[in-house]
Chains A and B, each alone.
Chain A
Amino acid sequence: MSTAAATTLSNIVEAIAGVVGEQNVNTDIETLKKYSGDTSLMSARMPDMVVRALNREEVMGIIKIANENSIPVVPRSSGTGTYGSGIPEEGGIILDLSGMKRIPRVDTRNRWVLLESGVTFGELKDELDKHGMQSLNPLLPRKDKSVITSVLEREPVLTCKTECDEPFKTAEFVLGTGELMRTGAMCIDRIPPEEIPDKTKSDLCSTGGPGIDWWRLLTGCQGTFGVLTVMNVKIFHKPLMQKVVLLPFDSLEDAVMPLYTIQRREVGHECFLLNSYDLAAILARDSGEISSLAAKLPRYCIVLNLWGGQFFPEDRIAFEEKAVAEIVGLYKCSVTETLAAVPDGNECIQGMLNGPWEGDVYWKERQLGGCLEIVFQNGLDKIPALWNRFLALAAESGISPQELGIYIQPRQRCRVCHVEFHIPCDPDGAELARIKAFQRKAAGELINAGAFFYRPYYDWADMIYSRAGYTLETIKKLKAILDPNRTLNPGKIKL
């Protein structure tokens, strides 16, 4: 950076320090390097400073200064992004929201929790345990993953119940100009959101409005439309009883109709499908055991958590078990409560349904230290063909199909399925470039085959928006209104 620019930077650092205090502005090279990447294996990019904000006023102040000086602001809630959303493509400020840790209100009657951007799944679990409530978790999130980031990224939750599918209730966010905005019922006053239920006639339960459905527009935008400061999200009552059962299959095709039927008959609460590799990555006692364990596990397995709920739980579990037995009989498959290779597997899974991954190394990275993903959504009936195509491409590229993972998460009673293909890799290995090339090639082939890439991460945005007609132009017009100077996370989703 030139001297002239440094002078400008120095002025900006000073101005921002005036908002957040000097101790919360960091420009030392080691810190900048730490924030230059995330867990995604995307190329790192250096920010100019890392600024830690602790409340909405500070977030507004920082963005206002940045906007006036054409400095990019990249919001970061936890730094455990898997998809490069928090990497500063054009330098500027990393806005570290991880210190915004308040959980100011839990409403058990209306089943929501109000939380700030820096609250992680681990912290939320601890708080909700006190109230007998449970959060709507994705599959084993990182313990330090921000809950709000997860919701904004539209990470699917484990429960397939339609009413639980979109946890977002209301929120507060800061536009690219530094102006404050609130979504849904939170907009009816400017008082702190946690006071709204007591001081107004709202319980923060209306997601829509004001005017447009901001809550939808903000999801999937990777922080390019606004920076979230606080949000209330749906939660649910812990069941009095629950029970995990497993349905093993030799082929993915065989699992399709049983999974459709389980969901159509609304059996159980959490439900998902894993192949042997991903199941082993979760259940193996140590990373060296993953491959051998995978060989002993069913090739594909539906994990289903039967749900006792709050009233007469034995009765509820009983009719759900009976329904599962009928479905198993109909499709001539089987159901088990134990896995021969992992006798306590069910208990392990049960324990994991209500919390983050507790291990030191994240489960997707246990085998080789890193993992590339391909993420899309489709109807369940289309997924086996896409998976087979992916495996064939892997074989062509010299990648062992036995070392690839698939995770299928039904949503809204299997109206659609979120799908992840996992490609374990060594982030420091010589093979990384080849694996990345395979990932890109496979993504392109899968898009052509009809996989819907609803989250345009990495360089997928080019592939996706080039096939999406007027969509990108539309998004750009909206960006010009909400963030006219391209202050917020410039470069993401081609904005």
Chain B
Amino acid sequence: MAFSEIAFKALQDIVGDENATTDPVLCQSYSRVQWTADGCVQRGQLGVQMRPNCIVLPRSTEEIQAIIKLANRYDFIFIPRGSGMINSAFTNPTQVMMGKGVVIIDPKHMDKILEVDKNNMYMVIEPYVNFAACQAEAMKVGCMVAVPPAGAQVSALANIQWHGAYGNSWISGLGGHQLLSFEVVLPNGEILRSGSIAQSGAEEDWVWGDGPGPDLRGFFRGAQFGHAGGMGFVTKISMRMFPWPGPTVFPTQGNAVEKESYFPTDKLRWYMIDFPENIQEYPKYEEEQLRWACDFQYEIAKAELAIVVQHNAKQFMWCWAARSKEEFHKGANEDFFPHGYNIVGCCAITSLEQLEYEEKVLKHIVDKMGGTFLSEDSPDPLDRERYKSWMRITNDWIRVGHSMRLSRPSDCFHQGTACVDSIDSVTDEILRANRQQRRELKEEEKGTHLLPISFHGGWISPTEKGYGALMTTDLWPEQEPEKAAEAIQLLLGSLKGMMMDKSAGLSVVLLGPAYDLLGPQIFNVHLLVKEMKKQFDPKNISNPPYATTPDVVPPEQLAEMTKVL
């Protein structure tokens, strides 16, 4: 059934005339998310066909429930949206091709931080609250939140439901770790509350995530990449906060791109650590450098130090440190950061004495391993410049003020590969992916339109103080659909490489067509999740084909789906 006038009138009745529209111009503006390679490809293939039929802007859980009940009655598809600033095209309305009406639910009006509990370190938020707001409110009460390099303005709720990798993952973990209680309107129109909020009693209590009984975050959040809106609309969550001893307002100076930020050194100290001299040449010693970074991170884990521990690839560092696109390309061409660096941030959570202790241990570890600290007094003047350049923006790892700098080089960014496992394992995946993709670039002449900064080093981001880790490699296509398609082909090639090599990344990549692609090799998990989709989304109207299609996809159709992907 196509989207009907009756359905639209009913939607207007729920949200008010001013909050529902079928205006083609307004709808067209919702036809794609920003700057991602898969979004570019979809746009090229589908063009105006990706335009949704209707946009609604509800104000409450009850309105969303009414919208979803209507979707069931009139058989239109609904797409949950956060801020629309997403590093993938999951929310692009390609479903218009299914012949059903498509309605995007935009939660712009649901932008409240409903509660900040200082003592119990959690915050209750609606879908349109961004990370910048969360961090600002958290710091006022002596706390901090997880900080995504994806940007300050992304929806915190959506990010936590989705990939959720953070500058301070060392203490905060990944997206799934941040989620405590949640409220979701299921695709069948029922409201589910889970965690402590599930139990109605004297008053609402959002303090905790698991129970009563089985921990339903296990299903409704999905795994690493969530369900991408395929299992209803999450309307409220409580998210974790962490201790923060620093100023209640983030200190900044300057303006816009020139903005700089420095903390008092009795609260927070940053360290930029170089590899031993004999392995500094890059790319000759890429593997040695990454292995050294692993050993270094494991030592810090053993010592239980710091709030930020990262290894950043060189292009990743320059994306952040450059103040303009021109400066980025100049720095990249001149190899300003000749290789990746190890970044550590220590914070006086307990006391100044604790901070001094951590610095002492860190120096002991670096010295023992033959590394060196960059500083304003480094012997090499270039090292001094590198240090100053990085220190100017290093606070952004906990500030979320840096917006979408990763897209700066080409206005289009994509992950080359991603993986979650041990520090060692994710480093294996960086090396595997880089080798494979460089070979394809060189021998098969693929990726000719990618920026040459692609496929260097990798981001090693340990989580939970070294109990786990996340990595990404990053590639920069151009925005033209055909050129962006190259990036996607390389990504798919990398996925196949992961399968061949039994990479740790396999356990977390399942979403959409990947269920049918990989599920048969992974204990037929796709069959179970398809049953779940049928149970909770019997009409298949919650952002199909996510989390997966209700039925097994035939091979020829799967080939077509992965081509679009």
Interface residues of A (CB under 8 A from B): 109-112, 154, 161-163, 169, 179-182, 184-190, 199-222, 224-225, 234, 237, 260, 264-267, 309-312, 315-316, 318-320, 322-323, 326, 377-382, 412-416, 447-456, 461, 464-465, 467-471, 473-475, 477-478, 480-482, 493
Contacts and interface: CB of A to CB of B under 8 A. Distances in A.
Contacts of A190: 523
A210 B535 contact: no
Interface string B212-245: 1111111101111000000000000000101100
Interface string B187-206: 00011111010111111010
B205 A452 contact: yes
Given A163-B171, A210-B523, A413-B121, 11 more contacts: A208-B223, A216-B215, A310-B304, A318-B353, A377-B196, A377-B207, A415-B122, A453-B211, A470-B192, A470-B193, A493-B213
A213 B210 CA distance: 13
Given A181-B525, A448-B202, A464-B199, A220 B211 contact: yes
Contacts of A179: 523-524
B210 A208 contact: no
A217 B214 contact: yes
Given A180-B523, A209-B510, A315 B357 contact: yes
B528 A482 contact: yes
A110 B467 contact: yes
Nearest to B240: A415
B22 to A, nearest CB: 32
B207 A379 contact: yes
Nearest to B245: A265
A225 B216 CA distance: 12
B200 A469 contact: yes
B152 interface: no
Nearest to A449: B202
A214 B196 contact: no
How many chain B residues sit at the interface, stated as a range, is 35 or more
B336 to A, nearest CB: 32
B350 interface: yes
Contacts of B356: 319
A148 B56 CA distance: 47
Most chain B CB within 10 A, of A187, A211, A312, A415, is at A211
B-side interface mostly: mixed
Contacts of B205: 378-379, 382, 450, 452
Contact of A210 (B194, B223, B350, B425): B223
Contact of A468 (B122, B142, B198, B531): B198
Interface stretch (B311-319, B376-384, B453-461, B501-509): B501-509
Given A200-B502, A208-B507, A454-B208, A310 B218 contact: no
A481 B526 CA distance: 12
Contacts of B507: 184-188, 202, 206, 208-210
A475 B214 CA distance: 8
B518 to A, nearest CB: 8
B215 A219 contact: yes
B351 A215 contact: no
B535 A477 contact: yes
Contacts of B366: none
Contacts of B424: 109-110, 203
B492 interface: no
B328 interface: no
B351 A322 contact: yes
Contact of A213 (B191, B218, B365): B218
Contacts of B215: 154, 216-217, 219-220
Contacts of A267: 350
A187 B522 contact: yes
A231 to B, nearest CB: 15
Nearest to B501: A201
Contacts of B465: 161, 163
Contacts of B120: 379-381, 414-416
23 contacts: A111-B467, A184-B507, A186-B507, A205-B504, A206-B468, A208-B224, A209-B223, A209-B224, A211-B526, A212-B529, A217-B219, A218-B218, A319-B353, A319-B356, A323-B353, A381-B120, A415-B240, A455-B212, A464-B213, A468-B200, A469-B191, A471-B216, A493-B213
A450 B208 CA distance: 13
B253 interface: no
Contacts of B210: 154, 216, 219-220, 454
Nearest to B429: A201
Contacts of A379: 117, 119-120, 205, 207
B422 interface: yes
B45 interface: no
Contacts of B523: 179-182, 187, 190, 210
B467 to A, nearest CB: 6
B199 A309 contact: no
Given A205-B422, A209-B508, A471-B198, A221 B213 contact: yes
B136 interface: no
A220 to B, nearest CB: 5
A213 B428 contact: no
Interface in B121-149: 121-122, 142
A322 B348 CA distance: 14
A213 B217 contact: yes
Contacts of B90: none
